[in-house]
Structure formats: C-alpha cells, structure tokens
Structure 1
C-alpha cells in the first residue's frame, strides 16, 4: 500500500486516477479548491472503491500562503509520502494574475508544484521508494523570464505552454538533485475529455481515462522505478524527448534561480 497525494483531484484526470489507485487499496490524499466538492469527492470515491483510506485537503494553488497552510496540515497528519502527482492545472482563468501579480498559468501549473514538492521533500524522503509525477503537456514553449516574473503579459495559450515547459525543465533538474526519488514529467495526452480542455477548446480528442491510465501505471508500476528524470509522451505512448530547452542547463539554472527568488526559497 502506497500513500499517494494527487493535486486537482476533484474532477478530470486527477479524479479518475484517484479512483483507479483507490481500487488498488492505496491510501489516497486528494486536493481540491472547493471544500464542498472535495468532501463529496471523498465520499464518492470511498463508496465506489470500498476503500476508506481516502482523505483530502483544501488549497487554492494560486495562493502561496494557502499552499503553505495545506503543507503544514498534511505534514501534521502524515509522516511519509510515496507518490506525489502534481496534476492540478489551469488554462483559462477569469483572473489573469494571482495576489503576487504572477500569471495564473505560471502560478498554478509551475510555481505551485515547485513549492509543494520542495516543502514536502522530507515526507517524500521518508518513503523507501518515492515517486513524483509532474503533469506536463504536448504544448511547450520557451520560457520568458519576464513573463515568469509577471512583468510581461502574454496570451493564455503562450502562458500555458511556457508554464508546462518550466515544469518539465524543473522536473529534470529536481531528478538530478534527488536521485533517490523517481521523478517523471508526463504529457497525459492531448485534448482529453476534461472540463479544462472543453472550456479552452470546446472539443476533445480522447477520453480522460487515457490520462488516468498512464498516471496509474507511472505511479505504481515497478518497471518505472528506473525512469528518473524522463519525459513520457502519452500521445506517442512512450518515453520521448521534451522541448530542447529542457536539456539546456544554462536556461534551467536561470529558471530555477528566478523561481527561488520569487518563492523566497
């Protein structure tokens, strides 16, 4: 039995993956922004899977103080984490920037998992064999440091693609710095049938189960233990190469340096 944290798990791919993992009797820690929705999801998953080891925490991932609060609560209740799935993401947002004047896509898709993972590192290290899955995307674009810092306004599409490449670049750096943890960046599949995709594009290509299936496999299958610092492209259904910038050490160093300044780490 593994203790598994999944962000953004009250709907979409995150929720479907949580159900699959709960069916295998793992201890699942859900996360949602809305406490009522989270409570209902916990009840629903318990009922569907006959697994009572389901709990959850509320946090607005665009708000760094809210993330710190969730980390404190989680660390108080659990002594170790075996799998962290940084699944939560945003594409369209009615609010362009968060309280720190950072683009919402960068805040939720990149800064939030970066902060969450860094703070939860002691719990991940308490596991005999921990794993991190960072949800990337087929959409990846070179990161503008000015956009990262909130000084340059770019389109939703551009901000989304840049935030996903930032997450992938950091995944590779984190994997190098933490060889005892298996860290994998994963594109769960393009245009899956989720609320985020339907809001953004109005149509979809594949069932959201396609994304949930690969998250389940990458999270618990023994054969992926050795895949630290890799990128899985579920459109191709294989490990593949990410954007070239993900292998550019100079750009990675600059990204991480600026990120640490912004997050005051």
Structure 2
C-alpha cells in the first residue's frame, strides 16, 4: 500500500538517499529544503532515480520559526493525511550561531522546528494509516540547560548540538506518551556518516551515508518496527545495523521532561 511520507532536510545527505529509496517503492514522497531552486532540482532527481512521479516538496528555512509555521500551513493546505513524518533536518556548524528569534541555531533547527511542525501536523498524522514519527537524534546528547534552550546563555557548538538532540529525544518520549496510537521513535542514524554535515564539522567520516538512510527506510516501513513507540534506536550499536538502546538518562526523567516541555511552550509563546 502506497504511503504518504514527509521527510524534512531531504535535499541532501541521508534524507535525500532515504527519499530515493522510499520513492522506488512507489510511495508518495514530500521533500523539504530551504532553497527553492535546490528543492526543485532534487525533486526532479528523485523522480528520475525512482521512476516515480508522486514526488513534491515544501520550502522553509528551519532557522526561522515563522517560516516553520508557514510551511506547516502549506502542508495542511496541500495534504489530507500523512502516514510517516521523518524529522531529519539538522544542523551542526553554521556561519551564524544565533537566529533572528534570538535562539541558538542548533536548538532552532534541531529541536524547535520539528516541535512546531509536528504539533501543527498531528491532525494529518492522526488521519494517516501508519501514524509514525521518526525523529533524528544523535549519539551526542547532553543535559538541556534553560539558558541554552532560550538563547540567553552562550554555549559552544558541540554542547548546543548535544543539548538540542537530547531535547528532541526527550520530546519524542513525551509525545509517545501523549499519543498512544502513534509510533514515535528517536534514532541516532550513525555517527560520522559520509554527509556534508559530518565532513564540514569533523573533516572525516566513519561510515557511508547509506548506513543512515537504510535505517530510516527500515524504521519507516519495515514490519520489524511496527507499533514500537517511545524508543531510541542506536545505529552505532550492532552490525550491520543497530538496535534499540538506552538514550541519555534525562530522557527517562519525567520531571526533566515536564520542565523541558513547559519551558519550550513558554519560549515559543514569545516568538
């Protein structure tokens, strides 16, 4: 059965590779990118590579929370349901550290953007058949500090990235508790994959990008992961692919999760 799948950050890296692999299965794929020209080019590439014409996309710069709200409206206007949402868009290094909203760009793109988008699209996911959300976490996870979250404290790139990824994981577990009829999984797709983000950040890679795109594909449509929710998949563990594992201890602390969600809502109310 053909599924409707939205993949953010899918004009490059593992998002693009996963889109092509899923498109080859005949699914309707909606890509996302921040540049309209590049998005149009990749939509054409995915169509050609998959021989699937059911490929479209949406444009938004996820460092701009207003743009995230606008893309949410665009998706709601265009689609009647979504089976699978893959929140893949992410950032590590950037020419700027602070967004126009006064937030660290890592928190904006890696946490606040998927938080806003997903909450806006819950009605479409509820109307879907699969009701699945896959959030791209990381092996790098660090305790979320309110000053880093709200942009008032200056933290280094690695720390901001790790905190933003733990925030995403904690929220994933929170969402799984709120929506029992959905499958919500946080995944570390693999450390230092051969992607532009990893190569720009570290100047090296350990594994091919396909290691990450393959697990996104599997988590999205394989019956092996059907109905699993509120879990963290670590693709660094196991061979040739990973396994479900424990995330950072904070991800299981109900008090810290409640504080994160409350602070998140308070921050977004001012943006």
Q: Distance in 1 between matches of 2:82 and 2:227?
A: 19
Question: Residue in 2 aligned with 1:162?
Answer: 163
Question: Residue in 2 aligned with 1:264?
Answer: 269
Question: Residue in 1 aligned with 2:33?
Answer: 32
Q: Normalising to structure 2: TM-score of the pair?
A: 0.97
Does residue 1:145 correspond to 2:146, yes or no? Answer: yes
Does residue 1:80 correspond to 2:76, yes or no? Answer: no
Write the deviation string for residues 189-235 of structure 1: whole angstroms up to 9, x where unpaired: 00000000011000000000000000000001122122100000000
Q: Distance in 2 between matches of 1:260 and 1:225?
A: 30
Q: Distance in 1 between matches of 2:163 and 2:57?
A: 29
Unpaired stretches in structure 1, ≥5 consecutive residues: none
Q: Distance in 1 between matches of 2:75 and 2:48?
A: 23
Q: Distance in 1 between matches of 2:129 and 2:48?
A: 30
Tell me how far 1:100 sits from its aligned partner: 1.1
- Residue 102 of structure 2 aligns to a residue whose secondary structure is coil
Question: Residue in 1 aligned with 2:256?
Answer: 251
Does residue 1:102 correspond to 2:103, yes or no? Answer: yes
Write the deviation string for residues 122-170 of structure 1: whole angstroms up to 9, x where unpaired: 0000113210000000000001111101010000000000000000000
- Residue 57 of structure 1 aligns to a residue whose secondary structure is strand
Unpaired stretches in structure 2, ≥5 consecutive residues: none
Q: Normalising to structure 1: TM-score of the pair?
A: 0.99
Question: Residue in 1 aligned with 2:94?
Answer: 93
Q: Distance in 2 between matches of 1:250 and 1:73?
A: 35
- Residue 185 of structure 2 aligns to a residue whose secondary structure is strand
Q: Counterparts in 2 of 1:204-215, with a 5 A limit?
A: 204-215=205-216
The count of aligned residue pairs is 265
- Residue 43 of structure 1 aligns to a residue whose secondary structure is helix
Q: Distance in 2 between matches of 1:256 and 1:81?
A: 24
Please tell me the root mean square deviation across aligned C-alpha atoms, in Å.
Answer: 0.8
Query: Structure 1 segments of 4 or more deviating over 3 A?
Result: none
